[in-house]
Amino acid sequence: MDKANLALADYLLERGTPVHIVTHSVDPVLAQHRLANVHLVARPANSFFLGEFALAARGRKVARKALRENPSAQVVVNGGNCVWPGINWAHYVHRAWAGPKRGPLAYRLKDAVAAERARRTEEAAFQRARLIISNSKRTTQELVKYFGVNPARVHTVYLGSDPAWGPISAQERAAARQLLHVPEARSLAVFVGGLGYDDRKGFDVLFRAFQELCSRPDWDVDLMVAGTGPAQAEWQAKVQQSGLGHRIRLLGFTDQVKSVLAAADLLVSPVRYESYGLNVQEAICRGVPAMVSASAGVAEQYDHSFAPLLIPDPEDARDLVERLLAWRLNQEQWQARVQPFGEWLRSRSWRDTASDFVSIVEKRPVMLPVSERLVTSPNS
């Protein structure tokens, strides 16, 4: 979502359009632009949940002020972050995921309160929005299913790619493996995602699959996990208790995802819910085959020839084992087959995403009552 919002702001500023940005944090380069009006909102106690209230309030305040100065301005908000009857860029649907929760009681209570609020605000936001841009057809279907949104109000705009995340050279791969202490002779699968108590990203299924695979003498693939979350310590303990500490490595939070992908032979993402899946797209753009749940929004970009990489049931660890074994038997072929796929995905830039977004809005301008017209942040 952050990359998409930044791309939209950059594109508008490039066109000479002043942009108000209501956000918790902002790229310094963006903040220095002469046409960017940045409204930073603090997070009380560094809490995203508490910060949501201030973000929404500031968004509405900036909206009204900007409207008085420019009655023809437009609103862009994300989901339920700020309920406003303008343009809503939907990157996630909270109503679509209500998986089981684990963890300490205090965490579960807080999560339940936050989830309920998110569902209420997104329902109000999506029903009130005059125009909705979704990041996948799956997200569009969920907006119609859960909120009764008229499909004519929703347009799908797929996410773009960063040209810097291109094919991996032999030199970059060697440097990445040296940085991450991965022997060149070992095959490496990677998981890039959060380790939450709701298990939405499916690491528990991947862990069970790897437990079975590592019991086989012919399985020579190790697993690296890039991501953090409240359940990270629990998973670290489980890895050690299983005796797989030498086969499964949890990196925690890292800003080296580009290098992690450069060292990888496969990305695995058995998500239970994913409105899109930018990690998968970035892997393919790098030339790394990516195995992902068929229900994820990014799976819409796969053609039928990549069906073996689409996981039909993210709960089925046994099926995942079979798919991983099949990939390993044909690892070099998959490596070659994914290159044209990556080239095709790279042909769509973040600028293309922003351009498509603006084109849709210009063809269907959102004209609101005078009291509610605004340009506000792509991140409000």
Asked whether residue 200 carries a pLDDT value surpassing 60, the answer given is yes
Give pLDDT, residue 10. Answer: 95
Distance CA 98, CA 347 (A): 35
Q: Which of 360, 4, 323, 362 is nearest to 161 (CA)?
A: 4
The Cα 89–Cα 8 span in angstroms is 11
Strand partners, 190: 224, 267
pLDDT for 164-183, tens place per residue? 999 999 999 999 999 999 99
Residue 162 φ then ψ, to 5°: -95, 125
- 317-337 burial, b at 16+ Cβ within 10 Å, e below that, comes to bebbbebbeebbeeeeebeee
The closest alpha carbon to 315, from 199, 236, 233, belongs to 199
The answer to whether 190 and 224 have CB atoms below 8 angstroms apart is yes
> Among all chains, which residue has been given the structure tokens 């080239």?
343
Instruction: Point out the least confidently predicted range of 58-72, 176-190, 210-224.
Output: 58-72
Spatial distance between the Cα atoms of 72 and 64, rounded to a whole number of angstroms: 12
What SS3 state is found at 226?
strand
Summarize pLDDT for 217-261 with one digit per residue, the tens.
999 999 999 999 999 999 999 999 999 999 999 999 999 999 999
Mean pLDDT computed over 82-100? 92
Backbone angles phi, psi at 342, to 5 degrees: -65, -40
As to burial, measured by CB atoms within 10 angstroms (0-12 exposed, 13-18 middle, 19+ buried), residue 230 is middle
pLDDT at 218: 95
Question: Which domains, from first to last, does the chain contain?
Answer: 2-160+349-369 (3.40.50.2000), 170-346 (3.40.50.2000)
Q: What is the pLDDT of residue 46?
A: 84
Contact between 60 and 82 (Cβ < 8 Å) = yes
The pLDDT > 70 percentage for the chain reads 96
Q: Name the DSSP class of 161.
A: B
- The 10s digit of each residue's pLDDT in 310-355 is 999 999 999 999 999 999 999 999 999 999 999 999 999 999 999 9
In the chain, the N- to C-terminal Cα span, in Å, equals: 11
221-226/310-311 β-pairing? unpaired
CB 207 within 8 A of CB 243: no
- For residue 100, is pLDDT > 80? no
Of 275, 250, 122, the C-alpha closest to 200 is 275
Model pLDDT for residues 132-176, shown as the tens digit of each residue: 999 999 999 999 999 999 999 999 999 999 999 999 999 999 999
Asked if pLDDT for residue 377 goes beyond 60, the answer is: no
> pTM for the whole thing?
0.91
Instruction: For 258-278, write each residue's pLDDT tens digit.
Output: 999 999 999 999 999 999 999
Q: Report the chain's mean pLDDT, rounded to a whole number.
A: 92
The three-class DSSP label of residue 338 is helix
Exposed/middle/buried for 140, CB within 10 Å: 0-12, 13-18, 19+?
Answer: buried
pLDDT at residue 98 in the model: 84
The confidence band for 70, taking pLDDT boundaries of 50, 70 and 90, is confident
- Does residue 372 register a pLDDT over 70? no
Cα 26 to Cα 212: distance, rounded to the nearest angstrom: 44
